[in-house]
Structure 1
């Protein structure tokens, strides 16, 4: 009887370390050839499974697989494609089962956030109903750091490091010119419903007067008058004001400051630019000259300044996912467990997929200062070790060198399926 194959896919917004998880999966599977046959990767995530576009990772060299550990973005392609409930969309789940059966795939490892964990959980349920058991393991990933149970999420530590470094450097720039030029700088960061990324930027403010002076969190209702008073106070006291705002900043009624009026592929409100919105508000009400920036993809793609802790943890959860599958565990996700030691240390735990699917974890109120514009010492203690350490990619001719994969597809065995996209 042929050995069972493993299918791995990347989902949702990518990170600077998601490929480190892929590296952990593939290298660990190769070390267990007696139990795992081929490792297939989905071309563009779960869409690759639906279209039967499976990348044969055995065609990639040991060197290129190792290079994934320092390569940003999704090396096999990711997607924003949410499978609906089994009752509403059984056709797609049946298609997944057909592809898995055709290619003797008995292990399904899905690397993503809450929506992805939900998909893995549903596949595990359906496989049992179909009499073709598939071991489904979720692999945590999200820059937003909003998955529950796990102490933190791979991808977050590096984006946290990027935004903290960026606001420190931009703050110095503005400070040097504020006497005769820009007095207010606004940097917009990711975080639709949770302010973890914005909060991490607060690490840059180690002393009074350091940037950022103001942080706008989704967890704290935006108060225009209070905000403007704070801006004016900072300019008067320090000569300038540096602001970090989460894209999900909202009013007390729940409306986003940057609601663009549309919906994305997951049904989430499409957000516009909150940074220019705040900058214009400052200009109109206070008359200060301003500049603004949106970190956007730069913050999640910045592998050149990744957190050493983040890289290590991303690899570890990929490795653990394979080990869990081989141990017979099913419908679970490896978690990062912070140990209660004086010096930061962590280990790997686990949680049922049912407990993390579609659940978001907001920043606790105790991490945000009383005035709602900064982070507490407790937050600093949480954030600091997650951005610690440097793990630079190799450079040549002044530029980082990343993995270059063949991405050779296996031969199709089923009729075409062209529903997505």
Structure 2
């Protein structure tokens, strides 16, 4: 049996565990070296395939690949680049086929979110449209937890753990000084359309009485008057108020509080700055002293506090992706099934990309409190298992030790290609 080569790439915003999925893919390919030859990684995602900028992972030691499991960021570079439709942008797809042919690539593993699933689905259609056999398997990743079909998305559990931990620690700081200093603290969390990350802040307290006192979700229309009344009441009752706000919080008409007026390469509105916007309202309406913080990249890069469940799931979907390809599957994504909640047990199943690409999963209304300012016990039961366990990286000289890869380029065989 001929051992064809594989192509792996990372896409979109990275996470604390996306490299654990890379580890799962590469280690599993190495265990099947009788059927899969070299594993090439795309430098900066699918762009690496289009520009023939490939990295040969074969020379990397087993120890270096294993170290990916505890290394955050995107080891091979990621991108926000969405392939257009095949009919009107045929040249892009012809180029992919040329690169795949030139390097004897028959397996395509794309590690990303909903838009990446769309790219993977389109690549899977190349066999039919251009008569070249490619097996395209999507490897789930998104901190936003908004991929449909799968119970949860690798990358989310670690962000949720970071946010809940940060809220618990910061709330103690604010409570210590509230009699003479800060009355309102606002933490901005990621989440464009879905409030999963912000909702995870609720786990900082064991019930709805402790901080965070208020969580603002994209799924609940923003009402300034109601919010200010709740903040005022909370400060008078508790002495301070801790708020977690999703970057995607929006008004009734759908306008984002923090719309920067720009779009990214996927066509999404660029967000950020909802915390200072909200702080300005607090100052104007209530005259209370405040502080705000934006977790931003810190929340998705915090491998030192990653959820063990998240790390294990990230590795498992990478491993299963290779198994799917070896079984002859195409256009699927290994998804997570929740088999039991107490004790928490999970397994994987193979979901068709046609049900995942360009779809979003939002926080269900049954998880949200009646007042709209947080989540209920049902939501807590969903979130709790995902932040369980620790998987600390090795430390050296007091700091986390990360993977060191050679990232050796593959010799180009084709003319240059302009994106």
Length-normalised TM-score, structure 2: 0.99
1:157: which partner in 2? 157
3-state secondary structure, aligned to 1:107? strand
Give the corresponding residue for 1:392.
Answer: 392
- What corresponds to 2:380 in structure 1? 380
Residue aligning to 1:312: 312
Contact kept, 8 Å, 2:202 with 2:208, in 1: the verdict is no
Partner in structure 1 of residue 369 of structure 2: 369
1:325 matched to 2:325? The reply is yes
Kept in 2, the 8 Å contact 1:128–1:134? The answer is no
3-state secondary structure, aligned to 2:322: helix
The CA distance in 1 between the partners of 2:178 and 2:275, in whole Å, is 19
Aligned partners of 1:209 and 1:176: how far apart in 2? 18
> Whole-Å Cα distance in 1 between the matches of residues 408 and 307 of structure 2?
31
Which residue matches 1:139? 139
Structure 2 match to 1:70: 70
Instruction: Please give the alpha-carbon distance, in whole angstroms, between the structure 2 residues aligned to 1:11 and 1:155.
Output: 13
Aligned to 1:30: 30
Paired residue for 1:410?
A: 410
Counterpart mapping for 1:177-326 below 5 A: 177-207=177-207, 209-326=209-326
| Match in the other structure for 1:97 | 97
**C-alpha displacement of 1:207:** 4.0
Look up the match of 1:129: 129
SS at match of 1:91: helix
In 1, the alpha carbon distance for the partners of 2:160 and 2:297 equals 13
Distance 2:209 2:320 in 1: 43
Q: 1:342 Cα shift?
A: 3.2
Partners of 1:304 and 1:79 in 2: how far apart?
Answer: 24
Equivalent residue for 2:45? 45
Change (3 A) 1:329 1:83: same
SS at match of 1:375: coil
Q: Secondary structure at the match of 2:354?
A: helix
Q: Distance in 2 between matches of 1:398 and 1:14?
A: 25
Change (3 A) 1:341 1:192: closer
The alpha-carbon distance between structure 1 residues 53 and 349, as it changes in their structure 2 partners (threshold 3 A), is same
CA distance in 2, matches of 1:49, 1:19: 19
CA contact (8 A) 2:189 2:246 kept: yes
Please report how far the alpha carbon of residue 330 of structure 1 lies from its aligned counterpart in structure 2 after TM superposition.
0.7
Q: Could you say which residue in structure 1 is the equivalent of 2:6?
A: 6
How many Å separate the matches in 1 of 2:261 and 2:34?
53
- Specify the SS of the correspondent of 2:336: strand
Range that drifts further, 130-139 or 259-268: 259-268
Which of 232-241 and 338-347 deviates more? 338-347
TM (norm. structure 1) is 0.98
Secondary structure (helix, strand or coil) at the match of 1:22 reads helix
Gaps of 5+ in 2: none
Displacement, 1:297? 0.1
- C-alpha spacing 1:252/1:333, structure 2 compared with 1 (3 Å): same
TM superposition shift of 1:272: 3.4
Q: Give, in whole Å, the separation in 2 of the partners of 1:293 and 1:336.
A: 32
Aligned to 1:118: 118
Distance in 2 of aligned mates of 1:415 and 1:382: 51
* 1:236 aligned counterpart, secondary structure: helix
Output the aligned Cα RMSD: 1.0
Residues 340-349 or 115-124, more deviating: 340-349
| Unmatched 5+ stretches in structure 1 | none
Native 8 Å contact 2:317 2:335 kept in 1: yes
Q: Residue 380 of structure 1: CA displacement?
A: 0.7
SS in structure 2 at match of 1:317: helix
Report if aligned partners of 1:156, 1:310 keep a CA contact under 8 Å in 2.
Answer: yes
Q: Is the 8 A contact 1:38 1:57 kept in 2?
A: yes
Q: How many angstroms does 1:416 deviate by?
A: 0.7
CA–CA distance in structure 2, aligned partners of residues 111 and 126 of structure 1: 18
Structure 1 residue 93: deviation in Å?
1.5
Matched, 1:88 2:88: yes
Question: Distance in 1 between the 2:151 and 2:264 partners?
Answer: 28
* Residue of structure 2 in register with 1:55 after alignment: 55
Contact 1:14 1:74 in 2 (8 A): yes
Give 1:385 deviation, angstroms.
Answer: 0.5
